[in-house]
Homo-oligomer: A and B are copies of this chain.
Amino acid sequence: MSHRIFILAAALALAGPAIAQPVAPAPIPFTEGMKYLYGSGEGAAISVQAWRALTDFTSRQVRQRPRDSAVLAAGATLAAPSFVPCGRKPFAAVFDVDETVLLNLGFEYDTAIGTPWQDERWNQWEKTGAGHAAAVPGAAEGLRRLRAMGVKVIFNTNRVVANAATNQATIEAAGLGPARHGDTLYLQGDDATGKNKDGRRAMIAARYCVIAMGGDQLGDFSDLFAIASVPARRAATLAGPIAAKWGAGWFVLPNPVYGAGLKGSIDDVFPPAAHWPAVPSQEK
């Protein structure tokens, strides 16, 4: 809890329960991350750049079939990654959906005006969001290029299997389809591992040579990134053989709005070695 928020909480406690209740968690729901991702030129440009890198990489791989797919093999570790062999399997590319190919504008607007997260509200969004989401800049053209190269586009999302039909409709309404459950759309509930995606990735990699994967969360590449320590998780992305995957098989889309990338204490994010002691602050 920052100093300011502590003062605010104390002030509201003093002011009594009648006014303390409606502002209890007090985040600012229209966030800077939303401005960056959904509104800025910088957010659009970095997305287009990621999609260009992905399609250019894939086009080179299609011309010279790779030995390995981009999916980690069973038993692989981040320190010693090994990958499912491609053999002569047909080519595919595997994508997360939310904030990877799709900007959830309707749902996030609702959040921005103050509606708190509720599981049931997200479930309603999965059922009725078609037409209120947009393609990530660069995604629609990127997917078209991949399909034109003969690369099968497969979505692997934690949207749920009970909403398969409306999730297909949402993806297709944004110009990103086709998406067909059991063929080009894998959903949470397709296996017994819940929100983990390695099982679904293994199913896909058994049938396809997966040239590229795209996602906004590290879990879109491997469940091995479920590391509790924020600094250790960041360090894991930068260690030798894993660092070599970013932009070369694994492609990251920006998401400063939600997810695993927004965790951490101030000391996790700014390690003591990085503090700036030379000049005392003028306001403390």
Residues of A within 8 A of B (CB): 2-5, 7-8, 11-12, 14-15, 19-20, 22-23, 26-46, 48-53, 56, 105-110, 112-116, 118, 121, 124-125, 128-129, 132-134, 137-138, 216-218, 225, 230-231, 233-234, 236-238, 243, 246-248, 250-256, 259-264, 266, 268-270, 274-276, 278-279, 281-284
Contacts and interface: CB of A to CB of B under 8 A. Distances in A.
A29 B5 CA distance: 9
A52 B282 contact: no
Nearest to A15: B15
Given A8-B23, A40-B262, A42-B261, A252 B49 contact: yes
A47 to B, nearest CB: 8
Contacts of A110: 276, 281
26 contacts: A4-B23, A7-B22, A11-B12, A11-B19, A15-B15, A15-B19, A36-B256, A36-B261, A39-B230, A39-B234, A42-B255, A42-B261, A45-B252, A48-B238, A52-B247, A53-B247, A105-B270, A109-B266, A112-B269, A116-B283, A124-B278, A128-B278, A132-B274, A132-B276, A132-B278, A137-B238
B49 A246 contact: yes
Contact of A3 (B7, B56, B114, B118): B114
B36 A33 contact: yes
Given A3-B114, A216-B42, A256-B33, A124 B19 contact: no
Contacts of A132: 274-276, 278
Contact of A225 (B41, B56, B247, B266): B41
Contacts of A233: 40-41
Contact of A275 (B45, B109, B237): B109
